[in-house]
Amino acid sequence: MKLKVTALVAALMTTVSSMAMADELKIVFAHHSSASNTFWQAVKKGYDDACGKVAADCQMLFTQTEGSVPEQLANIEAAIAQKPDAILTSIVDNAALDEVIKAHAMLGSLSSP
């Protein structure tokens, strides 16, 4: 899992750094873990470091309850409302995010590349 998250963040930051940007990118990372989880604290440290290197405005959203998919969904809804340039997430349930993505795609809140 650590390798996948690291690879995802590295790929995103490589893409971001290669883009010519007039404005600072806003990126939100909403995942399924609480702030007390040491693994996700290490991920946050790397995420913050990478965001600093590309001068992006980044936010990591934790859940209050460890592993809470409903809280993760609420955080994703809040992230969508902020209209960031990118939303990152973790997938622990293959279908849990389907409805929120479909609903916002139909409303035009989300766009695909």
Domain boundaries, the chain: 2-107
What would the pLDDT profile of 9-61 be if each residue is shown by its tens digit? 555 555 555 554 558 999 999 999 999 999 999 999 999 999 999 999 999 99
What's the distance, Cα to Cα, between the start and end of the chain in Å? 25
- Name which residue leads in pLDDT, 107 or 2: 107
Mean pLDDT of the region 102-106: 80
Other CB atoms within a 10 A radius of the CB of residue 27 amount to 24
Options 2.70.98.50, 3.40.50.80, 3.40.50.300, 3.40.50.2300; which CATH number does 2-107 get? 3.40.50.2300
pLDDT of residue 43: 97
Contact between residue 48 and residue 13 where contact means Cβ atoms under 8 Å apart: no
Mean pLDDT of the region 56-85: 96
Tell me the pLDDT of the chain averaged across its residues.
Answer: 84
Which token pair is 65?
């309850």
pLDDT of residue 20: 45
In this prediction the pTM is 0.74
